[in-house]
Structure 1
């Protein structure tokens, strides 16, 4: 487990996974990915858990990967990386998932929500997927899922040009279910989770599978992305981008 991932199970069948690293805008380390992967796997195995809610410490959902931690682990094959193991578990989780997004949601902070069954955002939510800017390619099957949600041209803006979007645009594009004040956001997400958890479990999972469509095609896209991601990770473009970012990140 990780000290920066808080996991709480409520009496009404909701597992809350809270990313709690506010000093780094909830940037994710390998240990944090491992903790979330384990929490999802346990949720699928637990009869008492009927829904999962993802949230961040107030003011940020997640700034994406902690690049310093990510670069430190880059000597190992990407197929073994905690980030990819979490993404695979995210894609295969049978328990309904809900995201409560407040503040920035960068990289995996955005692509994670594409796997959620319900997504709610505060007016302060800001989504962005800057993979190409870092010399990388999209992950978490976002190159497959996003065009099917928003259309090819809009997905190209978001993934190739790294164009960000706010909560209102996300609502208009059908990427979030609703926008509400930050003070009500988590309460509402948990209430919806409790509603899902109170429904017949088998019917929920069967309906969810029908809604989501071709699981095999989505996972194939995820694995194709992982191969391309590892190739780009070793390329000079990515190495230079990481060096620039980490150089800027150093305190003056």
Structure 2
């Protein structure tokens, strides 16, 4: 069986994290979250890795959580989930991160990019954050980071009304750095990551911290969301919405 997350260390100090579950539109399982978390932690601990790139399959970045897998392991709630462990690591990772988004990026597939230092998209990119639709709340500090990027009113459309964004709209809002043909997308992301990896490490780390701002605020928002997510996950309205979603047996998606 093929690995659902492939970790490849490339020349130039770049670690490529590839989501490799195309039959489920790269919907994320607990094992996939663990693999990505370990890859990020390992990058921070390595003297050889200077940047990380997130990529998916042609035409699909990630449909978000695999809800069947998530609900099957949800006895301990969101607070004990591999998803939250990954999100915490994502927010704390010191190694620069770059995302290459081709096709769908739903839920965490979209909010993951808010933590990346550079984001590139193909014309087929579609970002959507349907948390409230499922009786849940935003995660990955998106309730804090997204309003900073696009303003409160636009963030309300995206987070409460689950308004989808295409690549050009994401570019106009400053959520991606550029839109490239699909066959050039990953090459560009890796090239930019290699440029970051080649910079003086101390100056890069200090500059990155200045650009990103107050890390404590990000982590505080992340933890507040986690508590609210956990409470909502146990609520009747969320249980009803999630059960209805799963009963429709859609191929993939979500929070």
TM-score tier by shorter-chain length is: over 0.9
2:153 corresponding residue in structure 1: 153
Partners in 2 of 1:110 and 1:70 — Cα distance? 18
Q: CA deviation at 1:77?
A: 3.1
After superposing the two structures, state which structure 1 stretch, 242-251 or 38-47, moved more: 242-251
Partners in 2 of 1:40 and 1:190 — Cα distance? 16
Q: In the comparison of the two structures, how many residue pairs are matched?
A: 250
1:174 corresponding residue in structure 2: 174
Q: Deviations over 1:26-53 (max 9, x none)?
A: 0000000000000000000001000000
User: In the alignment, is residue 122 of structure 1 matched against residue 103 of structure 2?
Assistant: no
1:89 corresponding residue in structure 2: 89
2:138 corresponding residue in structure 1: 138
2:103 corresponding residue in structure 1: 103
Q: CA deviation at 1:57?
A: 1.3
Q: CA deviation at 1:250?
A: 6.4
Please report the TM-score for the alignment, with normalisation by the length of structure 2. 0.97
Ranges of 4+ aligned residues in structure 1 off by more than 4 Å: none
Partners in 2 of 1:245 and 1:87 — Cα distance? 24
1:52 corresponding residue in structure 2: 52
User: In the alignment, is residue 16 of structure 1 matched against residue 20 of structure 2?
Assistant: no
RMSD: 1.0
3-state SS of 1:27 partner: coil
Partners in 1 of 2:75 and 2:250 — Cα distance? 22
Partners in 1 of 2:38 and 2:60 — Cα distance? 22
3-state SS of 2:74 partner: coil
2:66 corresponding residue in structure 1: 66
Q: Which has the higher contact order (CA 8 A, sep 6+)?
A: 2
Q: Deviations over 1:52-87 (max 9, x none)?
A: 000001110000000000110111132210000000
Q: Deviations over 1:198-241 (max 9, x none)?
A: 11011111100000000001100000000000000000111111
Partners in 2 of 1:250 and 1:161 — Cα distance? 21
Partners in 1 of 2:202 and 2:60 — Cα distance? 34
1:239 corresponding residue in structure 2: 239
2:194 corresponding residue in structure 1: 194
Q: Deviations over 1:149-197 (max 9, x none)?
A: 0000000000011111100000000000000000000000000011001
1:183 corresponding residue in structure 2: 183
Please report the TM-score for the alignment, with normalisation by the length of structure 1. 0.98
Q: CA deviation at 1:11?
A: 1.7
Structure 1 residue runs of 5 or longer lacking an equivalent are none
Partners in 2 of 1:78 and 1:189 — Cα distance? 31
8 Å Cα contact 2:77-2:233 kept in structure 1: no
Q: CA deviation at 1:103?
A: 0.2
